[in-house]
Chains A and B, each alone.
Chain A
């Protein structure tokens, strides 16, 4: 029966080509606009580390005070003094500080032109904490952190660039004129958004090339890519800057249970209270402890363009559906005579209802196919609105294809509920009488 109704549906589509084309286009454009914007939204709003996002927390401590902080919220990173205090206290199972650094490297010996490389200064705990996968070797340990070792971990892509993908563990590379021994090479690892490093940057950045010990980075005075300062800035030299109000280090801790989270929150409060007592802070403790998803939300990682364009597209789709309801109504009721005859010949209301829903589903299918074509074209145009780092995340995969077709068919069938119901209610007697 389904196949027969499907065929009837196809035949009916051919009968009013203009009306059919209109419906198919409405569904196609509506579903394509929604899918294009959804493909971006899906990419930017996802959980970058689903298995651990509830265990990873970034502590914040207000070191600027109520007059200079961010409308009551503490700064988005820590200054050197507070960052070091947290590390020394070591109240979490795993902990790291990190900041982004840019360095130069000579890819093939001293005669080549230097290239820029982006990296992070981190503690050894960074790798197990964020479950960074390794291709060769591994990270470094706490002892290396403490002795400020000149070691480095390369990314798979950077290792490919420098060593043609060979196992480079144990070899040396020179970054900004300093030598480092390669401890490991990660597998491709680029969580989107890059939740762990959001200070003064967007969550979508170019690939990471290397990781080096935080302690070592301070020794070579590697400038953080960005810092935010308050109050007096007439410090002199690197050490003066370290002791200033400037914040730049992002801390992360791993806390496995609610008890640990509560304990760590208490520790932060106590630390801030101690600082107040010691006269360093002239204000009551103002601390935060946010996990990954809370942090992404607080930092507004999803670009407003993405939300607005998704909402506008959904509104657009809704209008297309209202349009489709009207057109289906016109299309179905035009055949009132035909329905009357079928009903008179014994077809039940349910059968009429089913037939017209299936006919709507064929419209939906056609709309879905058109929508799929438009989505493919549209996704390549995402770069018009978004920065390339975001635009390349939007892609057509199997799940999006399936979703496009499913949404198109389902939405059209839902839109057909009322027109099909009206069709099923046609009184056979009236229709037969007038003929």
Chain B
């Protein structure tokens, strides 16, 4: 049976080692459970859905260099025709703003004119009548824009649109407990209202950055073509045709009109991006943080385990004679094994208790300085279990070696 007293008595003679293992376990616990929590938050963040069909979707950004105003309207129409005729293309729409684009336009919206404070901040996407179906966003009430409703305007002449389509999340926010369909909405403190003609189930805003988390599901679609902003053609490919289209799209557009810029490269500013790339770039730092934290956790646990193995082995070799004496006096191998496991358990328990305090303190500090969320208790419990198990597992090998010490050792002089 386990006897705590002799274990404690022995630990008193190894204060330094005990404190060191305990301290190491405490620090490891503090970092590991905060890191696990951070990883979980990042994974939740990057698992949010966009509300669109992400496969077989291509975004092509193109900016005119020698055209402005109405002229842009006809150039864009020509481009759309060109793109629709490419083999493998199902449909094409043009839009300023799409989910995870990496920035865009947001403004306050309200249900009354001259509201002192807006009801919500929302993303503004300026789209044509094809965008909804190209994205595969689900309209749950009302209707889509008609071709004749699309206005060609520049960003300094933003006439209030007659019609709007908004996301369900925004509809529920500005018109709680009632249908928003057919109701007015004032965008950016406009003096005249727009009518909500359609509601879509879900559409994510233009950025994945944490600053926009609160407005991530609030999107307003306006039937407009902005002539002075970098619009994107959203290309819906037929299944399996995405890479073929990606290869020819740039050439096809330059052939139609070469006075334009389609930025090349791979990064966030690239002109031609599949939606898979858009998503990857939008969540790059989230994913990177999750990976780095996982690596650090793993290495940390290995090093802590190795440290415990090292010190316990030392203790075992120091006490070979005492172990021999105990064995000679009738202790079984199991007694010796459980002695060392119990010793480690006591130290780990002390370390873990200190670690919980440290972990919560560290979390509090992170909340104060980085506006992260407060560490939730289940993560602390998982960390505690993990470290107690790790301690036992790391002690097992040296403890087994101790249990194999022969009673004859008692008679040796060293």
Contact = CB atoms under 8 A, between A and B. Distances in A.
A72 interface: no
Contact of B156 (A235, A318, A325, A385): A235
A238 interface: yes
Interface stretch (A81-89, A135-143, A301-309): A301-309
A29 B303 CA distance: 9
Contacts of B190: 232-234
B226 to A, nearest CB: 11
B3 interface: no
A307 B260 contact: no
B267 A233 contact: no
Nearest to B23: A322
B300 A316 contact: yes
B306 A326 contact: no
Contacts, number: 150
A410 interface: no
A334 B313 CA distance: 11
A233 B311 CA distance: 70
A424 interface: no
Interface stretch (A49-57, A108-116, A343-351): A108-116
A334 B20 CA distance: 17
Nearest to B160: A234
Nearest to B114: A232
A170 interface: no
A399 interface: no
Given A233-B188, A315-B30, A334-B317, A326 B20 contact: yes
B261 A329 contact: no
B261 A318 contact: no
Q: DSSP class of A's interface residues: helix, strand, loop or mixed?
A: helix
Contacts of B1: none
A104 B188 CA distance: 31
Contacts of A223: 155, 228
B285 interface: yes
Interface in B1-50: 16-17, 20-21, 23-24, 27-28, 30-31, 35, 38
Contact of B66 (A177, A235, A388, A435): A177
B254 A113 contact: yes
A104 B65 contact: yes
B72 interface: no
A114 B264 CA distance: 12
Interface stretch (B90-98, B140-148, B291-299, B330-338): B291-299
A322 B24 contact: yes
A387 B103 CA distance: 15
B150 interface: no
Given A67-B117, A177-B65, A236-B156, A312 B293 contact: yes
B191 A115 contact: no
Contact of B289 (A305, A313, A316, A434): A305
A358 to B, nearest CB: 21
Interface in A222-270: 223, 229, 231-238, 240-241
Given A234-B190, A237-B157, A313-B296, A319 B304 contact: yes
B303 A115 contact: no
B87 to A, nearest CB: 24
Most B CB within 10 A of own CB, among A309, A312, A422:
A312
Nearest to B188: A233
B63 interface: yes
Contacts of A318: 27
Contact of A385 (B31, B158, B269, B285): B285
B156 A316 contact: no
A422 B318 CA distance: 15
B350 interface: no
Nearest to A245: B189
Interface stretch (A18-26, A190-198, A275-283): A18-26
A299 interface: no
Contacts of A434: 413-414
B71 interface: no
Contact of A319 (B24, B107, B189): B24
Contacts of A1: none
B30 A233 contact: no
Nearest to A307: B370
A3 interface: no
B292 A385 contact: yes
Given A22-B306, A330-B311, A385-B292, 20 more contacts: A33-B296, A104-B65, A113-B254, A114-B260, A232-B188, A233-B158, A234-B159, A305-B288, A307-B370, A308-B289, A309-B292, A316-B300, A319-B24, A326-B20, A326-B307, A327-B311, A329-B311, A329-B314, A386-B288, A435-B413
28 contacts: A25-B306, A26-B306, A26-B307, A114-B258, A177-B66, A233-B188, A233-B189, A234-B160, A237-B156, A303-B285, A307-B370, A312-B296, A313-B296, A316-B300, A319-B31, A322-B23, A326-B21, A327-B310, A329-B314, A330-B17, A330-B313, A330-B314, A333-B318, A334-B314, A386-B285, A388-B267, A418-B16, A434-B414
Q: Which 5 A-B pairs have the closest CB atoms?
A: A330-B314, A385-B288, A104-B65, A323-B307, A326-B20
Interface of A: 19, 22, 25-26, 29, 33, 67, 104, 113-116, 176-177, 206, 223, 229, 231-238, 240-241, 303-305, 307-309, 312-313, 315-316, 318-320, 322-323, 325-327, 329-330, 333-334, 384-388, 418, 422, 434-435
